[in-house]
Amino acid sequence: MACDHRRKLQAPAADSGTLQELVPRFLLRLETRGYSVATAEMHRWALRQFLDWCDSHGYHDPATFTRGRLEAYQLYLFHYRSPRGGKALAINTQLARLGCIRRFFAWLCRDGILPANPASDLDLPRKQARALPKSLSPEEIDRLLALSRC
């Protein structure tokens, strides 16, 4: 769970900021590293939802995060239902959001804001296999062949 071995002995930066203050710095870092606009927007969206969850639980200091707290957020994503249709988030959507959170906490660690990464050992759900397209029925094949003869 410790960060890069060069940072193990380094104390967290004094007054490194709240989650609300750190997320924009992380997003700027993604921009400066050349991430695509779509990737940056995905991170912005996922982190905005994460911050809303954190605010509703009174979590503002990144140093207070543990793997257990992040697992609670993961459980929240699993049980979340869309207000528009009551549908659950697809596993791959949950994975994408958790991936953004993991990258954010890895950045906090790399920049010396956290001494250890609580997201590094987060046990993620298995990725959903995509369904293969349905094959044509024998009748549909016959109709296509008949059309090609015309």
Q: Give the sign of the dihedral formed by CA 25, CA 30, CA 37, CA 60.
A: negative
Give tens-digit pLDDT for 96-140: 999 999 999 999 999 999 999 999 988 877 776 667 678 888 888
Global confidence as pTM: 0.74
Under a CB-based contact definition with an 8 Å cutoff, are residues 26 and 51 in contact?
A: no
53 pLDDT band, cuts 50/70/90, is very high
> Mean pLDDT, the chain, as a whole number?
86
Whether residue 88 has pLDDT greater than 80: yes
% of the chain beyond a pLDDT of 70: 85
**Distance between CA 42 and CA 33 in Å, rounded?**
15
In CATH, the number for domain 5-149 is 1.10.150.130
pLDDT of res. 15: 53
| Whole-number Å distance between alpha carbons of 35 and 30 | 6
What pLDDT digit, counting tens, does each position of 29-52 carry?
999 999 999 999 999 999 999 999
* Alpha-carbon torsion angle 52, 54, 58, 59, nearest 10: -150
